[in-house]
Amino acid sequence: MEHTYYQHHNRIKGVMGASDLCQGLEACPVSVLGEEPPFFQYTPENVAGVGADLDPTEISFPGCDCWATVCLPDSCSCLPYGANYSELQLINKKGEVRYARPIFECNIMCKCGDRCPNRIVQRGLQLQLQVFQTGQKGWGLRTLERIPKGQFVCEYAGEILGIHEACRRIQLQKPCDSNYIIALREHFHGGKLLETFVDPTCVGNIGRFLNHSCEPNLFMVPVRIHSMVPRLALFAAQDVAAGEELSYDYSGVFHNPSAVGKDSETAGGGHEQRKRCYCGASSCRDFLPYDASLYPVQRRETVSPTTDPGLCLQRQ
């Protein structure tokens, strides 16, 4: 990979032999237990990669006119669907995730202050986390402090790719290679589809160390702040104890009854193409989520998230 593309991103630094894996780019340092992970470029948020239709760092959304400290759903243009981060909005009493509607945070163009409760994901990492070796699952990420249900944990950040580049990188992978590319599919009324591909393999953040679990303690939500490019935010699906490994469902189905993702049994892929799941959950599906048609090369319509979408998150 040519690294000259990233030289102008002054928020990206190399990670090798560092006590803080994030190299000071996050609000909280992230420690590593034992040996250091292989080299990668650290970025706290998404960057434009090959084939990206939009630059995720470009500001294209207008801001709200709220002068008050707290933005209210009835008056704030950033809250057209109600308050974003109240517990009942994210998770209902049954423990099911409620995020079919688009989430917009206030942005740099807004007149509200930094303490606005609609500024959560943009504040970055606020927890003490640690990267460690799990054994069969390879690298993992755990929390060193208790995390209450519904709290923002971290992003899954990396290069935003075009569909052809995502497909090309997938085809270059060997069976033994880890796949970090995640596909977010947002299904809108009228059959329209908006796809986002994030690859933290060479340029990414701590989210790349999160393992899959068939019974995860995190769930992923697409959040838009400055532009149409979503940021993949991970929230606690339950109270998480200090020392517990953090995980999410790569297929996006767990905790999400409205998910429209596909697993291996409907994707047409054989078991020889799949990787074993070692999550240890009582409901373990034995294999990691797999979708042979994950990256179809086809013409896509660009849409605006103004209607309630169905979501599909897929990582192999």
In the block, tokens 């990420």 appear at 141
pLDDT in tens, 276-313: 999 999 999 999 987 665 545 444 444 444 434 455 66
Are residues 105 and 114 in contact, defined by beta-carbon separation less than 8 angstroms?
A: no
> What pTM was computed for the model?
0.85
pLDDT in tens, 146-198: 999 999 999 999 999 999 999 999 888 888 888 899 999 888 778 888 899 99
Length of the chain: 316
Q: Which domain holds residue 200?
A: 1-316
* Residues above pLDDT 90, as percent of the chain: 59
Q: What was the pLDDT predicted at 65?
A: 94
The Cα 176–Cα 184 span in angstroms is 24
pLDDT in tens, 52-72: 999 999 999 999 999 876 899
Q: How many domains are contained in the chain?
A: 1
Domain at 2, CATH number: 2.170.270.10
